[in-house]
Structure 1
Amino acid sequence: MKKLLTLAVVAAAFFAAPSMNAQDFKVDKSPMDQASFPKDYKDSNKLIKVTYSRPQLKGRELATLAPEGKVWRMGANEAVEVTLYKDMKLGTTPVQAGTYTMYAIPQGKEWTIILNKDLNVWGSYFYNEKNDVARITVPVETADESIEYFGMEFMPVDKGAHLVGAWGNARVQIPFYN
């Protein structure tokens, strides 16, 4: 009798729970993505990983979404997080293994790339320059083809990898070395 009563209570709770219809289900318009190096999924000995959200241009200009001279989170939603699994260098600046947020300051034909020790940061609203770990200035390349979604991927180079960021016609290569 006790088992039957328990079963009845569980069944009532299940059927009384609010249901979620397909039209109620909200998908993030700027989904999270990840890139790692080495890229091969069979290689579990990663050196670096980046986690970011992929906004879309939707007819807007990159300069409106990432204004010149202002700190930008390099994507949408949360600030980009970079995890170094071993000590590396951002350009020539040594950076200890760990997880960092990454920001950019677009400045015309170059961007300042920043690694910062603050974590779990939404956007760049709470950016604190005092917590910067490394900065580097990289040139912006202009491509003929425009990319609608912001994206990042690693390109192998001698003694490391360049994190390539692409959106609209802008392309930047952020150098990480062993």
Structure 2
Amino acid sequence: MKKIILFVSVALLSLGVDAQVTVPQPSPLSKIEQVVGLTDVSVEYSRPSMKGRTIFGNLVPYDKLWRTGANKNTQITFGDDVKVGGSELKKGTYAIFTKPGKESWEVMFYSDASNWGTPREWDDSKVAAKINVKATKIPMNVETFTIMFSDFTMNSALINILWENTEAAIKLEVPSKKKAMESIEQVMAGPSPNDHYQAAVFYKDTEDYAKAKQHIEKAVAGRADAFWYHRQHSLILAKSGDKAGAIKAAKTSLELAEKAKNADYVKLNKDSLAEWGAK
């Protein structure tokens, strides 16, 4: 009995040590996912509140590097190459660091987004874009630090940073026209070789070999170097009863697979050629 009591006591003590108190965070984490034109943009940041404090020029000193939020540095992710404040920025994830001033802010997009707060050692080579934006006074107090998007057009939006009675707005430009034109041209050009390939595999699997043959021939014509296309061509021809055509397609697939050093397709083609009695 004493052993049992001791075991239970130790177990309860262990639970007490491992347990963690969960309470609301003073600067809660927020994530915004926004499509601007045709580009996916997301922002992840922590949101401190004023709580009666003077923010700019006091809690956040003027002309000093700021994490632009609380806790871990604010992160922004762009799904395409974009422009921020007229400066080009490659797609990817960046930390947003700022130097708030009385009349303007310096905004930096930093390629190392893994810092807790500001970097211990600042590296100018990691500044992917640096811009200056106007600091505008607004006729109200924004209690909780806020980042939002506004003023949408087909090709742009504003990234608004607001806190206390100050707003800094960054113009974001996205390649909507280019992406739309590429999409239109692709659709107007008709199905791609891969579209035909996918259709051919579907019709083969559903045993509609006539349609499968039509699509795989268009796929092969559009991309003659794809050994996996020729592999499916050989299987479809074999199912259609064209053994000579199947052997020819398999030999082409085998040759291309050997050049690509794809051992799996080399074996598959050799096995099929042996099965079909190829010489």
Q: Is the TM value for this pair above 0.5?
A: yes
CA-CA distance at 1:155 after TM superposition = 0.9
**Cα shift readout 1:4-37 (whole Å, capped 9, x = no counterpart):** xxxxxxxxx98776269xx932332111112232
Question: Is the contact made by 1:35 and 1:50 (CA closer than 8 Å) also made in structure 2?
Answer: yes
2:72 paired with 1:75: no
Aligned with residue 30 of structure 1, among 14, 19, 27: 27
**Cα shift readout 1:141-162 (whole Å, capped 9, x = no counterpart):** 1112101110111114331111
Question: d(CA) in 2 for partners of 1:96 and 1:14?
Answer: 53
Q: Which amino acid aligns with 1:33?
A: S
Q: Secondary structure at the match of 2:98?
A: strand
Q: Secondary structure at the match of 1:119?
A: coil
Q: Structure 2 unaligned runs (5+)?
A: 1-9, 175-279
Question: d(CA) in 2 for partners of 1:27 and 1:115?
Answer: 30
Q: RMSD between aligned alpha carbons? A: 2.5
Higher strand proportion, which one? 1
Question: Is the contact made by 1:91 and 1:176 (CA closer than 8 Å) also made in structure 2?
Answer: yes
Bigger radius of gyration among the two: 2
By relative contact order (CA 8 Å, sep 6+), the higher-ranking structure is: 1
**Cα shift readout 1:115-167 (whole Å, capped 9, x = no counterpart):** 01012111114343331000111111111210111011111433111111110
Aligned with residue 174 of structure 1, among 148, 170, 175: 170
Aligned identity (percent) is 26
Scaled by the length of structure 1, what TM-score is found? 0.81
Question: d(CA) in 2 for partners of 1:97 and 1:131?
Answer: 15
Q: Secondary structure at the match of 1:130?
A: helix
Q: Structure 1 unaligned runs (5+)?
A: 1-12, 40-44
Q: How does 1:104-119 map to 2 (within 5 A)?
A: 104-119=98-113
Q: Which amino acid aligns with 1:82?
A: I
Question: d(CA) in 2 for partners of 1:166 and 1:68?
Answer: 15
CA-CA distance at 1:90 after TM superposition = 0.9
- Give the corresponding residue for 1:10: none
Question: Is the contact made by 1:36 and 1:153 (CA closer than 8 Å) also made in structure 2?
Answer: no
Scaled by the length of structure 2, what TM-score is found? 0.53
- Give the corresponding residue for 1:58: 51
CA-CA distance at 1:174 after TM superposition = 1.1
* More deviation, 29-38/83-92: 29-38
Question: d(CA) in 2 for partners of 1:92 and 1:124?
Answer: 25
- Give the corresponding residue for 1:4: none
Q: How does 1:150-169 map to 2 (within 5 A)?
A: 150-158=145-153, 159-169=155-165
Number of corresponding residues:
162
